[in-house]
């Protein structure tokens, strides 16, 4: 199963400015766990780089991701 989500990162803006990117990656993981109903979520390295692209403080307002269910039962999240 494959789905495309636009994840708003505005809730992460309330995190301390020196921890925002770290909180954003965790927020993306929780978002996908909730919407795909699967606890085993793997975030691709290119998505991690996309979040960290402007540094730890300046996050994108939203990010578009593609979530795919793998053969081993996990969900792989990549940038769309």
State the total domains in the chain.
Answer: 1
pLDDT of 59 reads 94
Nearest CA to 25 among 6, 39, 45, 5?
Answer: 45
Q: Six-digit token pair at 77?
A: 């999240």
pLDDT of 61 reads 95
Q: What is the CATH number of the domain that holds 70?
A: 3.10.440.10
pLDDT of 36 reads 96
Longest Cα separation, the chain? 38
pTM of the model: 0.94
pLDDT digits (tens, 9 = 90+) for 3-43: 999 999 999 999 999 999 999 999 999 999 999 999 999 99
Q: Which residue range forms the structural domain that includes residue 7?
A: 2-79
């Amino acid at each position: 199963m494959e789905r495309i989500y636009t994840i708003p990162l505005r809730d992460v803006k309330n995190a301390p400015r020196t921890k925002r990117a770290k909180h954003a990656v965790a927020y993306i993981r929780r978002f996908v766990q909730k919407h795909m109903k699967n606890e085993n979520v793997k975030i691709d390295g290119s998505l991690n780089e996309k979040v960290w692209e402007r540094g730890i403080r300046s996050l994108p307002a939203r990010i578009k991701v593609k979530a795919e269910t793998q053969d081993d039962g996990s969900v792989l999240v990549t940038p769309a």
